[in-house]
Amino acid sequence: MNNKFTSEMVNDYADKLLIGLTDEENKMVLDEFEIIDKNIDVINEIPDIESVEPMSWCLDDFSFELREDEVEESIEIDELLQNCDVYNDREVEVPRVVEE
């Protein structure tokens, strides 16, 4: 039995979600599923993986303690801005990292 996603399946799901995909986007989704399938195959090769009990939460043993608030001396803004290449008033300018 073949459980691989097909282009038709991806388009059908996209249509049901009202997010029609271009052919390029469809191929990108299929490529991502291929990577996921390969990773699942690697996980399935772990000896006795089927006997491992699933976790209900990734941080079951996590514990924390809140610290007391302590007032500390702050560094002046002008002194901090000396480390910046470009700033405007009190705002630091950084390179754009999101494509339009």
Model pLDDT for residues 34-79, shown as the tens digit of each residue: 999 999 999 999 999 989 888 777 776 777 788 899 999 999 998 9
pLDDT value at residue 1: 46
Helix (H) / strand (E) containing 80: helix 77-81
- Residue 22: predicted pLDDT: 92
Global pTM value: 0.47
- pLDDT band of residue 4 (cuts 50, 70, 90) is confident
Give the distance, in angstroms, between the CA of residue 14 and the centroid of all CA atoms in the same chain: 21
- What is each CA distance from 87 to 18, 40, 67, 75, 83, in whole angstroms? 43, 47, 34, 17, 10
- Kindly report the average pLDDT of the chain as a whole number: 88
